[in-house]
A and B are shown apart, each in its own frame.
Chain A
Amino acid sequence: MRDIWLVLKHEYMRHVARKGFIFALLSVPLILVVSIRAGFLSVAASMDPKPAAYVDLAGVIQVIPPAAAPSLDSENPFSNVELLPYATEAEARAALDAKEIQAYYVIEADYLETGAVRLVAVDRPNEGLSSQLADILQYNLLSRFPPEVQKRVMNGPVVEVLAMDGSQQMSGANIWGIMLPLGIGLLFFFGISYSSGYLMSALIEEKENRTVEILLTSISPNHLMAGKVAGNLLAGLTPLLVWGGSAGIGLIILMTSLPESARPDVDPNLIWISLLAFIPAFLMIAALMAAVGSSAASESEANQYSGLFTLPLVVPLWFMMLLIDKPNSPLSVGLSLFPFTAPIALTMRASFTIVPFWQIALSIGLLWLTALACMWFAGRAFRLGMLNYGKRLKLKEVFRRSKPTPKLEGGHE
């Protein structure tokens, strides 16, 4: 175990301790945070902090509800300004002319019959001003109903769209339902690409400089491979965790400033399904990259093949509309079962529909089976290819020499 730990630590540190790695690690979330912040500030900067006013000719507004109370925050573009009541439009007009207020609404006397409200402003008023007034009006109109009815009307209906087979299917109106699986999928794709790329180049370097012979005469091939896979996997996951973590923190910050109705409704099953799918996917791709690294004659040759394994992972993104609109169509189901497309397709389906348990089990089972087969294949390619200097290992050679042997075979002087 000490050998595995030493190799793991070495493989991890050789990537993570590089200046370029640290720079990339920190720069991505930094750029993200700075750009989100800049976006917020630019919207907030365009906000007019001056109060607005209303002239309630219909006599509807009795109280200002807490949700529409002034909450002016110079850095939050979603904050409310103060809404002052004026008895007459002339007073309001005078205040507007005196630039004491940014705009005023006139709630016409026949509002209850017509719903007519007039907005008077010199410049364009703040973005959320009209919805702030609408909230106040709605609240006051509902004041004679019990609180639970008020709340129900204010929050709107919970629409549950059911598919023909009885499985639950979300409306798709919530943008988070699309963004979250997409984000998870992309993060994992980059994580897999990074870590398997690291593993492949580490193997090729050791093959080219023949350090592999020193390593193989120091520790067992199995320990060497286990340490390398784990070390490079962690190195690839590190930016993923840092970026994913920062994105998560960013999301939490964003959520606290969003109105409740716009907040994401995240299904915890989605997280579990993605984790269960991505672990074997990581192993599968890492094993295939290790096989390529062991059998290719040079790094440039290996790079030509590496895309073959990582590109299918993002194929579900091409079919994103299908996965959103028809998550239970045969193609969607097929994409979520085929091991190379399953990680992202299954995650996306799981966020748009309730995937039947047997499909989840079959998909993850197939992923594990493929991962194990790929690891077996990689083990053979490693044994046969690592000492085959300057020569490409042929695919049929990996299968042909099928006699079980714990020893290494391959190239020669």
Chain B
Amino acid sequence: MPAIEVEHIAKSFGKQCAVSDVSFEVNPGEIFGLLGPNGAGKTTSIRIILDIFKPDAGRVAVLGGPMDETKKDRIGYLPEERGLYQDQRLDRVLVYLATLKGLTTSEAQKRIGAWLERFDLAEHSKKKIKELSKGMQQKAQLISTLVHQPQLVIIDEPFSALDPVNTQMVKDLLREERDRGTVVVMCTHQMHQVEELCDRLVLIHQGRAMLYGTLNDIRRSYAGHAVNVRALADLPAALPGVANITRHNGDTRLDLLPGATPQAVLQDLVARGLPLEMFEIAMPTLDEIFIQVVKGQEDAA
């Protein structure tokens, strides 16, 4: 049973259409990427899933059915551009938010203590939120999202304001949550983070789902007819079945002619006795795929 089922949701605000047709499913035990540029409709989709907005059309099921009050304690949500109560002490704010998620005060204090230790925030627990750095505040918000051990975590732009060390720590944390069985939905416009973390994804652009599936399937479907090669010797200026040879940072991209296969090109290179360090199908990055999708839609328009 999927953790989230979204079927053809649509939402408009006055004349402005925020989401026109988005469908996807999120499976148990996966990190799912909800991608798209700013203004694509990601946050509106999340708010519809979380029952903050009611969709104009479509259907949403969360944790096996429509969203209701009892499910709120099983969900952790970290909105984008967040902040906390600036004039209040870190420990009090975290305990308050944790108790709203159903924990008793003593249990909340115990768990928050452990999280603060883990995030190196224990010595700052009595400080006011406004006295903490942006990175510390971000970590505090992550604690409030995870402290009640939710079954479903929805995080909007989880890496903003984090330095590389903390970014890595959060990535490890999200993987750890997934391994624990938590469903993680990561909403971001940073494609490289998704490539690194997500098992599956949906890409939203102008309120529509443009791509949906596993990362590998999507990349493969957008892979051009080309291979990347790294050889320890210079490649010949021309190769049979190769239309174009481009060199970049020691690697060489071979665009193949129609009808040519990567296997034939590999056999030819091996037959020439060229020492190869790498030979791979040229897979596009998510950034490249995204640009391709957007351009394709603009051309179609």
Chain A residues near B (Cβ < 8 Å): 3, 6-7, 10, 14, 18, 205, 208-211, 213-220, 387, 405, 407-413
Contacts and interface: CB of A to CB of B under 8 A. Distances in A.
A409 B56 CA distance: 11
B69 to A, nearest CB: 5
Given A6-B100, A411-B13, A412-B44, A217 B52 contact: yes
Given A213-B77, A213-B82, 13 more contacts: A18-B87, A210-B80, A210-B81, A210-B83, A216-B52, A217-B77, A218-B72, A218-B100, A387-B47, A407-B54, A408-B52, A410-B53, A412-B47
Contacts of A408: 52-54
Contacts of B53: 387, 407-410, 412
Interface of B: 11, 13, 16, 18, 38-44, 47, 50-54, 69, 72-73, 75, 77-88, 96-97, 99-101, 144
A209 B86 contact: yes
Contacts of A215: 100
B96 A413 contact: no
Contacts of B78: 214
A387 B52 contact: yes
Contacts of A14: 85, 87-88
Contacts of A7: 100
Contacts, number: 88
A-B pairs with lowest CB-CB distance, top 4: A209-B83, A413-B43, A407-B54, A218-B100
8 contacts: A211-B82, A214-B79, A217-B77, A218-B73, A387-B47, A410-B53, A412-B44, A412-B47
Contact of A210 (B69, B82, B101): B82
A219 B72 contact: yes
B85 A217 contact: no
Given A205-B85, A213-B79, A412-B13, A218 B97 contact: yes
Given A214-B77, A217-B72, A217-B77, A209 B84 contact: yes
B54 A219 contact: no
Nearest to A220: B69
A155 B20 CA distance: 85
A354 B144 CA distance: 58
Contacts of B101: 218
A236 B90 CA distance: 25
A412 B46 CA distance: 10
Contacts of B85: 14, 205, 209, 211
Contact of A413 (B41, B50, B84): B41
